[in-house]
Amino acid sequence: MNPTETVILARYVRALCPQQKFDEYTPDAWYDLLGDYDLQDCKAAAVEIARRQPWVAPAEIITEVKRARTGRLDYFQYEPTPGETAVEFTRNLRAQIAATIDGHRPPQLPYAGSPRPVLELTAGQTVPEPWETTAGTRIRSAHAVRCPKCGADGGKPCTAPSGRRLTGYHGSRVDALNGAA
């Protein structure tokens, strides 16, 4: 941020927090503290701070900008180019991380998965529900069998005598699973 942008930021914060005291030296002091940061990042940070409290301090702007810049790395994944050497990998990785932190996302790579749609892959096939069994299928969960104790059908949770749903299974339902397998 240059001194002119710092004046713009100070005026912006003054508009956000009219009760905060500013004088002709405020932008100079703020430039000394915020000169290394981007104007747009500082304005966004000032807005977030002003939503929480009536005054905005430069130290709070710095903290908020650092949090936002770190958050931009969420879900960042570097994909090296084929044949890239270790030195090129390190240089390109650092450049992409710096660009991402600055708010410039690298272009997304095209999807390298199957070009065929799922419906084409599963055409004519039916997927049975977990509680349905056919010849040759194996029941894998107690949730798939009828509970002998409470009478809960396959696919339904066990219930207590009061009618409350249980988070687990009755022991007899697990035994029924072992007997059916």
CA distance 94 to 114: 31
Dihedral-angle region of residue 124 (phi above 0 means left; psi in -120 to 50 means alpha; beta otherwise)? left
pTM attached to this predicted model: 0.53
pLDDT in tens, 31-83: 999 999 999 999 999 999 999 999 999 999 999 999 998 888 887 877 777 88
- At 14 the pLDDT is 94
- At 51 the pLDDT is 94
H helices then E strands: how many in the chain?
7, 0
C-beta of residue 152 within 8 angstroms of C-beta of residue 146:
yes
**Phi then psi for 125, rounded to 5 degrees?**
-105, 145
